[in-house]
Amino acid sequence: MAKQMNKNLTKEQKDILFKKGTEAPFSGQYVNHNKAGMYTCVNCGAKLFSSSSKFESKEPGLAGWPSFAEVAKSDAVELKDDSSLGVHRVEVLCKNCGAHLGHLFEGVKDHPSGVHYCINSACLGFKPDK
């Protein structure tokens, strides 16, 4: 559970961040967002992903959510084993507040690094470069 919940969050954001929900594919505001800047945790404001690591995924089952190849800094997120759907996945949590962000998939073909952070738009804020 998060250290503290931001009181300005919507019901959808609370459900995803604290009940480990998932938004519908292609429904989030940052799926096709291509501005330069920093994606942050919508709950606590921690820096999570740079726009330079964002890419458009076409991988079946992973397309439709913001996709990133790497975190902004090595201690931005916490990774946790997740077998909640009967399949092994790696959950991505904000290291600062513990909120659920999405999942990490490795060995994917839609990015040269093979790394794919599949993150819910509802979990993100955005600060444009100046």
Residues 6+ apart with CB under 8 A from 40: 46, 47, 48, 124, 125, 126, 127
3-state secondary structure of 49: strand
CA separation for the pair 102, 93 (Å, rounded): 7
Choose the catalytic residue: 41, 97, 118, 123.
118
Asked about 118 being catalytic, the answer comes back as yes
Read off the amino acid at residue 53: S
And the tokens for 22?
Answer: 């998932």
Active site residues: 118
